[in-house]
């Protein structure tokens, strides 16, 4: 166990300087979210598997609170099990997020796709739908960015081939955004 933990910590240490270099992009995302809320818009967040859990976590930190009590911020994770399973059954799994973007998204809202591979067909289709509806598009990616690289207005790519490290850094990034936002609300 000690060697596993030591390797995980060493991997994260190697990534941290690159994470700090992302701060201008992270701040740009924070600004986009603040502008969205000033216009009474909302942030929609989607992901599969562990990234779905991160989408839920990110959304609840925005709606309820991160570190301090403040007004609620409009954010939602696109993972309602009834909607997801209905869309998957009736329209195909590649449409589970784009259908929700179509239903809930308005011009000026923010859509965040969380995908460690950047290759999830349902998220690629949701990004396309969000762009067509004039939402601000954001991607939290890993590895080399996959097929999603270059598709969004704002992208945060964690350059690690290890999914767990990508997800851990994604959490650092979205927690930092939450802290930045709470300082300004």
State yes or no: pLDDT of 181 exceeds 90.
yes
Query: What is the rounded average pLDDT of the residues 131-148?
Result: 97
Q: How far apart are the first and last CA of the chain?
A: 42
Residue percentage of the chain with pLDDT more than 90:
91
What pLDDT is attached to residue 54?
Answer: 97
Residue percentage of the chain with pLDDT more than 70:
100
DSSP string, the chain: -HHHHHHHHHHHHHHHHHHHHTHHHHHHHHHHHHHHHHTT--EEEEESTHHHHHHHHHHHHHHT-SSS------EEES--HHHHHHHHHHH-GGGHHHHHHHHH--TT-EEEEEESSS--HHHHHHHHHHHHTT-EEEEEEETT-GGGTTTSSEEEEE--S-HHHHHHHHHHHHHHHHHHHHTT-
Strands ordered across the beta sheet of 154-158? 75-77, 43-47, 110-115, 136-142, 154-158
Q: In the predicted model, what is the mean pLDDT of the chain?
A: 96
Q: What is the dihedral of CA 136, 38, 70, 55, to 10 degrees?
A: -10
What would the pLDDT profile of 46-100 be if each residue is shown by its tens digit? 999 999 999 999 999 999 999 999 999 999 999 999 999 999 999 999 999 999 9
CATH topology of domain 2-182: Rossmann fold (3.40.50)
Domain ranges, ordered by start, for the chain: 2-182
What pLDDT is attached to residue 1?
Answer: 86
How many CB atoms within 10 Å of residue 180? 18
What pLDDT is attached to residue 176?
Answer: 96
What pLDDT is attached to residue 12?
Answer: 87
Count, residues in the chain: 185
State yes or no: pLDDT of 2 exceeds 90.
no
The values of phi and psi at residue 109, to 5°, are -65, 170
């Amino acid at each position: 166990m000690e060697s596993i933990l030591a390797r995980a910590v060493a991997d994260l240490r190697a990534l941290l300087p690159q994470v700090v270099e992302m701060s201008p992009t992270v701040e740009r995302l924070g600004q986009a979210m603040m502008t969205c809320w000033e216009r009474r818009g909302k942030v929609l967040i989607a992901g599969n598997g562990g990234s779905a859990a991160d989408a839920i976590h990110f959304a609840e930190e925005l709606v309820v609170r991160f570190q301090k009590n403040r007004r609620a911020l409009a954010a939602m994770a696109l993972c309602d099990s009834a909607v997801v399973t209905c869309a998957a059954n009736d329209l195909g799994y590649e449409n589970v997020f784009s259908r929700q973007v179509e239903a809930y998204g308005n011009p000026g809202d923010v859509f965040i796709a969380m995908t460690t591979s950047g290759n999830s067909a349902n998220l690629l289709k949701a990004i396309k739908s969000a762009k067509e509806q004039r939402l601000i598009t954001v991607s939290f990616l890993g590895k080399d960015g996959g097929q999603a690289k270059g598709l969004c207005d704002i992208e945060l790519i964690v350059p690690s081939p290890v999914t767990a490290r990508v997800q851990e850094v994604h959490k650092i990034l979205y927690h930092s955004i939450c802290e930045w936002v709470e300082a300004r609300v």
